[in-house]
């Protein structure tokens, strides 16, 4: 069994590294807040990530039988709820998921 001082030293080291890695982005981000690139990325990145996720999900449903219609309807529900309810991502993704699961249960 390792000594207590060794365990404490390892724990302090791990805590320091973890804290530093979590604080570093905030320290670097402060001077970049007015950067045009960062402003553009913050506007487009969430939509791009969701687009890639949707394309990947729809691609995987095209490989299976009978789920294409359910996936397309669920995607439409997600888009309509997202645009119609004030761009609330959690609500739109939740209702889209419920629509997909509900349609799969009916098939």
Where in the chain are the domains? 1-33, 43-106
Q: What is the DSSP letter of 78?
A: H
**In this structure, are residues 103 and 74 in contact, taking their beta carbons and an 8 Å threshold?**
yes
When pLDDT is cut at 50, 70 and 90, the band that residue 1 belongs to is low
Q: Is the pTM value of this prediction over 0.75?
A: no
pLDDT of 11 reads 96
The stretches of the chain forming alpha helices (DSSP H) are: 4-32, 36-62, 68-84, 89-106
* Cβ proximity of 95 and 73 under 8 Å: no
> Three-state DSSP class for 88?
coil
Mean pLDDT computed over every residue of the chain? 88
Pairwise pLDDT comparison (2 vs 14), residue with the higher score = 14
- For residue 14, the model assigns a pLDDT of 97
| 3-state DSSP assignment of residue 34 | coil
Question: Does pLDDT of 102 surpass 70?
Answer: yes
């Amino acid at each position: 069994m390792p000594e207590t001082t060794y365990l404490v030293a390892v724990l302090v080291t791990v805590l320091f590294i973890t804290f530093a890695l979590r604080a570093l982005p905030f320290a670097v981000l402060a001077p970049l807040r007015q950067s045009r690139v960062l402003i553009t990325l913050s506007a487009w990145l969430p939509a791009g990530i969701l687009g890639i996720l949707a394309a990947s999900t729809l691609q995987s449903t095209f490989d299976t039988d009978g789920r294409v219609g359910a996936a397309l309807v669920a995607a439409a529900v997600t888009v309509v709820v997202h645009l119609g309810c004030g761009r609330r991502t959690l609500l739109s993704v939740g209702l889209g998921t419920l629509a997909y699961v509900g349609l799969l249960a009916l098939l």
